[in-house]
Amino acid sequence: RIPENIQGTYIEYSTLLTHEMNLKRDDMIQWLKMSIAITIIIITLMFVITILFAIISICTITRPLGKIVENIKGIKHGNYQLAGINSADHDLKVLCEAIEDMSVSIQKNIEHVKEKSILEKRILESENENLKIHDLLTETELKVLQGQINPHFLFNTLSLISRMAYLENAPKTKELMEITSELLRYSLEKSNSTSDLMGEISCIKNYLEIQKKRFGHRIQFQLFVEEGLPDPIMPGMVIQPLVENAVIHGVADMMEDAAVDVVIYRKHDKICVLVEDNGVGMDSDILEAITSGHLKETGTRVNGNNIGLNNVKRRLDVFYGTEGILTIESSKGCGTAISINLPFEEESEEL
């Protein structure tokens, strides 16, 4: 009976054991499904939280950067009232503070430049006004200096014409009067205005013709003019006073072997006018006073011809605006050589 009972209970026990195992299996499967679902939910939540954190972090960085870009665009268009930027990032805070400092600095620099521009404009207007005044004074000084012509030549010439008219009734008197009239006309027309080189040469020719008739063979006059010279604009009546100075101040008291030479030639970009005499020469103090342009400031006693020479130098300096146009070489008892270096441009030559 034992084997029969064992055989009978085996099937029942197997069935019961199989049923219990199936139930355990079903429970394990259910628990596994639940674990997988929970894991998926947790992973999904973590993914969502990560995405949200990333979005928040990106917005935290990009939003200040966007405002920074807007502020930079505003600065570019001249708007220096910057929008406030709040950021938890230390580097962005430093960048925002640097941009604000730059904006303030730029605004201050612009205001400084504006003030400087206004000041420079006022200074320029003042300089232009001073320049106009200086030009007016220069023109006035030039006209005043041009009007200071030694009247001795006029008186001596009229006296000579009077004597010749008394002694002879001949064509020489007529010729002399015509030359004198032409010279006086040129003197009156050009004494207060500019002239040109050829006009000055014509004036010198007339002056020398008159002086030849006045002094005869006692003074030898020579005029050499290089051919093909240009005809630049220059102050009127500047060469004649030099020749007059050579005649009256240099050789007028010499009874023989007196000579006055006038040489006009071109040297590179300048026209050189040389007036030379073998007369009594000048004292060193007078020469220094004339050369420095302070003749009136010295206590040296001079005659009208020296003052006329000083005026010629001042007129040349006023007209050309440079020093060194007129140079004088002289010593007591050895004559005087006065040279003028007139600058000119090629356009003047073509004209």
Percent of the chain with pLDDT over 70: 70
DSSP at 217? G
Q: C-alpha angle 232/292/279, rounded to 5°?
A: 80
Give the number of C-alpha atoms closer than 13 A to the C-alpha of residue 8, restricted to the C-beta side.
Answer: 5
How does residue 264 score in pLDDT terms, banded at 50, 70 and 90? very high
pLDDT tens-digit map of 155-183: 566 567 666 766 767 667 767 777 777 77
Q: Is the pLDDT of residue 351 over 50?
A: no
pLDDT tens-digit map of 139-155: 655 555 555 545 556 65
Q: Is the pLDDT of residue 303 over 50?
A: no
Q: pLDDT higher for 262 or 79?
A: 262
Q: In the sheet where 326-330 sits, what is the strand order?
A: 219-225, 258-267, 270-277, 336-343, 326-330
Q: Tell me what pLDDT residue 201 has.
A: 92
Handedness of CA 170, 176, 177, 178 (dihedral sign): positive
Task: Please name the residue that has the structure tokens 């950067």.
Answer: 65
How does residue 276 score in pLDDT terms, banded at 50, 70 and 90? very high
pLDDT tens-digit map of 70-123: 767 766 666 666 655 655 566 666 667 777 777 777 777 878 888 888 888 888
Q: Is the pLDDT of residue 253 over 80?
A: yes
pLDDT tens-digit map of 22-33: 888 888 888 988
Q: Tell me what pLDDT residue 301 has.
A: 38
What letters, b where the CB count within 10 A reaches 16 and e where it falls short, cover 229-260? bbbbebbbbbbbbbbbbbbbbbbbebeeebbb
Average pLDDT, the chain: 77
For residue 271, what are the CA distances in angstroms to 29, 79, 241, 309?
124, 63, 18, 19
Q: Tell me what pLDDT residue 190 has.
A: 74
How does residue 46 score in pLDDT terms, banded at 50, 70 and 90? very high
Mean pLDDT of 268-281: 90
Q: Is the pLDDT of residue 300 over 50?
A: no
